[in-house]
Amino acid sequence: MKLWRRTGWVALLAALVLPPTHAAEGPAGPAQKVLRFGLRSAESGFDPAQINDLYSRQITAHIFEGLYTYDHLARPYKIKPLTADGLPAVSSDFKVWTVRIQPGIYFADDPAFGGKKRELVAQDFVYSFKRFYDPALKSPLYTSLNEDGLLGLEALRVDALKNKRPFDYEREVEGVKALDRYTLRFSLAAPRPRFLNSLADSGSFGAVAREVIERYRDDLMAHPVGTGPYVLKQWRRSSLIALERNPAYRERYYDAEPNADDAEGQALLARFKGRRLPMVDRVEVSVIEQSQPRWLAFLNGQIDLIDPVPPDLAKAAVPNAKLAPNLEKKGIAAHTIVNADVGFTYFNMDDPLVGGLAPEKVALRRAISLAYDVQAEIRLVRNGQGIAAQSGVVPNTYGYDPNYRSPSSEYSPARANALLDVYGYLDRDGDGWRERPDGSPLVLEVAPQADELQRQLDDLKRKSLSAIGIKVRLRIQQFAENLKAGRAGKLMVWSLSGSATSPDGFGGLSRLHGPQAGGANFARFKLDAVDALYDRMNELPDGPERLALFKEIDKFEAVFVPYKYHTHRIYVDLTQPWVIGYRRPLFWRELWMFMDVDMALRASKLD
């Protein structure tokens, strides 16, 4: 009876949350191949210039295409042309990058094109890059892109702001210019040896068509039109996103260059080489934020992939880091990796309680950092699925040092208490809670999300801070609401995670770059000395001098503690036996077009 109730509840959940599988034979021929995925948090929309959250970029990376992409199987990584015709021609000073675009690439069909086929041309990338500078869009990627110093674009932005007029898309600038129909030139103010990494981020810097932007100006988030393998077919906000094969997608075939000693990569290449992409006709993405329903949907066969196993369920799924026998018997496969990401808590440096560079403010942040037990988080909350993080530079990226230990990573409630005592954060009224040096209440406002993992992390955080006499008040909101408030500087303390979007660990340091406050720099940390080091690193080629500057910036971060770094997560992704070809990308988001689904096997397993 209990089993029936549990199974019945799961089926009901699936009916309410998940879309029906499009597997029936239709008049047009064989059944669609459908991949079903459960998204851990709600998307914010699908306009590349207005988004920067992982969940939305997972979608846009399959709709839009940049100039370059990453080899799906190469490890650690290899960049190769996507819409570009070969690698760029680069000047000796790394300031001028010239790219030739492949002729014959077309945008997906859309009413904005008046029934005509619309070819991708160099001017589309000019327009697309200009959009990040348009102040009306408030692009969260503006600050990170602007550090590349595309000549003339910042002047266009300043002109629009100063004179309170629309951004001038018609004015030609040197920074990004179409030399002819298929040739594009980027001109930078300073050397940028790794500019190619930016050009390989399709989810962020894929080409858009001006006709589409102007037609759907008031609802751009719901009308993504790109040259990629999929089109948006259906969208119920925070519930369901359905993508379908782009009928206008060019002939593109599975090809890759895995290392000779990469047995898994070589096997995937042997199986799929020469297959036309995408291999799956439809991708149904259901937003299932709670880990238990998402896990039950996977066990019930209603979603095909769970990435990763929720930490609170790791003991059931991968006890002792091995796939549970009951799952192995079902043919489920486990894929394990130390992810190129970092979980962190930031302190709003503009906040009157936790912000600022005054000694007592620094002491408060250090004490909070010292009071938090990262190893307890890994052991009790993440069930061993993580390693302690020492800085914002993540594994699998250039500059990551597995031997570095930050002073702010230490767990010492005794030192935390001593710091608070010395700097005047005392319990003056004897109620067990400390007050500020001026005697006013000391209450830390923390902004969590409403999910089980976050609840456990909040409990641990609250216990840690209670142990040193600091009271915590929670402000629970959805992730998208927190993201908006965080970028606007309206949250005091928030914990979230960031994933690498390129093979250069330098991206993790953008959280300390003053000009990127409101973008990657959630803490709004500003220090001239750090900005100078950051700018120098951006110009240097990779080598010992640049690696030494990673360590210099780490020292400043350890002193001022604008962030408390928690973990680099160990991801265990599970795939159903009918899913073929899964391999988690390292820095990129393009994935679903490289996967296949055995619909007959699915049907037999679920009967």
DSSP letters of 204-244? Answer: HH----HHHHHHTGGGGGG----SSSEEEEEEETTTEEEEE
Cβ neighbours of 395 (radius 10 Å)? 20
Q: Are residues 252 and 352 in the same domain?
A: no
Q: Are residues 357 and 213 in the same domain?
A: no
Q: Are residues 44 and 188 in the same domain?
A: yes
- Do the beta carbons of residue 241 and residue 235 sit within 8 Å? yes
> Average pLDDT, stretch 482-493?
92
- Do the beta carbons of residue 310 and residue 301 sit within 8 Å? no
Q: Are residues 244 and 370 in the same domain?
A: no
Give me the sign of the Cα torsion angle 255, 257, 263, 266: positive
Q: Which of 132, 65, 59, 140 shows the shortest CA–CA distance to 105?
A: 65
What does the pLDDT look like over 186-223, one tens digit per residue?
999 999 999 999 999 988 999 999 999 999 998 999 99
Q: How does the average pLDDT of the chain come out, rounded?
A: 92
CATH number of the CATH domain containing 504: 3.10.105.10
% of the chain at pLDDT higher than 70: 95
> Average pLDDT, stretch 349-369?
97
- pLDDT category of residue 4 using cuts at 50, 70 and 90: very low
**pLDDT of 415 above 70:** yes
Return d(Cα 451, Cα 464) in angstroms, integer: 20
- Do the beta carbons of residue 313 and residue 294 sit within 8 Å? no
Residue 47 within any structural domain of the chain: yes
> Average pLDDT, stretch 81-103?
98
- pLDDT category of residue 13 using cuts at 50, 70 and 90: very low
Please give the single-letter amino acid code of residue 363. A
Say what the pLDDT of residue 6 is. Answer: 37
% of the chain at pLDDT higher than 90: 82
Q: Are residues 68 and 205 in the same domain?
A: yes
> Average pLDDT, stretch 405-411?
91
Residue 193 within any structural domain of the chain: yes
What's phi and psi for 454, nearest 5 deg?
Answer: -65, -35
> Average pLDDT, stretch 280-301?
95
Residue 519 within any structural domain of the chain: yes
- Tell me the two tokens of residue 553: 């910036």
Tell me which of 262, 287, 314 is where a domain ends.
Answer: 262
Return d(Cα 193, Cα 94) in angstroms, integer: 5
Residue 492 within any structural domain of the chain: yes
Q: Are residues 356 and 501 in the same domain?
A: yes
Return d(Cα 6, Cα 463) in angstroms, integer: 34
Residue 8 within any structural domain of the chain: no
**pLDDT of 366 above 70:** yes
Q: Are residues 365 and 218 in the same domain?
A: no
What's phi and psi for 141, nearest 5 deg?
Answer: -95, -5
Q: How many domains does the chain have?
A: 2
**pLDDT of 144 above 90:** no
> Average pLDDT, stretch 247-262?
97
Please give the single-letter amino acid code of residue 406. S
Residue 182 within any structural domain of the chain: yes
**pLDDT of 451 above 80:** no
Residue 277 within any structural domain of the chain: no
Q: Are residues 81 and 225 in the same domain?
A: yes
Tell me which of 216, 245, 262 is where a domain ends.
Answer: 262
Residue 171 within any structural domain of the chain: yes
Say what the pLDDT of residue 26 is. Answer: 42
Stated pTM of the model: 0.84
Q: Are residues 358 and 477 in the same domain?
A: yes
Q: Are residues 346 and 253 in the same domain?
A: no
> Average pLDDT, stretch 287-311?
93
Q: Which of 339, 389, 380 shows the shortest CA–CA distance to 563?
A: 389
Tell me which of 244, 262, 280 is where a domain ends.
Answer: 262
Return d(Cα 425, Cα 444) in angstroms, integer: 13
Q: Are residues 46 and 188 in the same domain?
A: yes
What's phi and psi for 231, nearest 5 deg?
Answer: -120, 150
Between 382 and 46, whose confidence is greater?
A: 46
The answer to whether the bond into 278 is cis (omega within 30° of 0) is yes
Say what the pLDDT of residue 8 is. Answer: 42
The residue segments making up the domain with residue 115 are 34-262
Q: How many CA atoms lie within 13 A of 601 on its CB side?
A: 12
**pLDDT of 333 above 70:** yes
100: which strand partners?
183
Say what the pLDDT of residue 29 is. Answer: 52
- Do the beta carbons of residue 468 and residue 413 sit within 8 Å? yes
CATH number of the CATH domain containing 90: 3.40.190.10
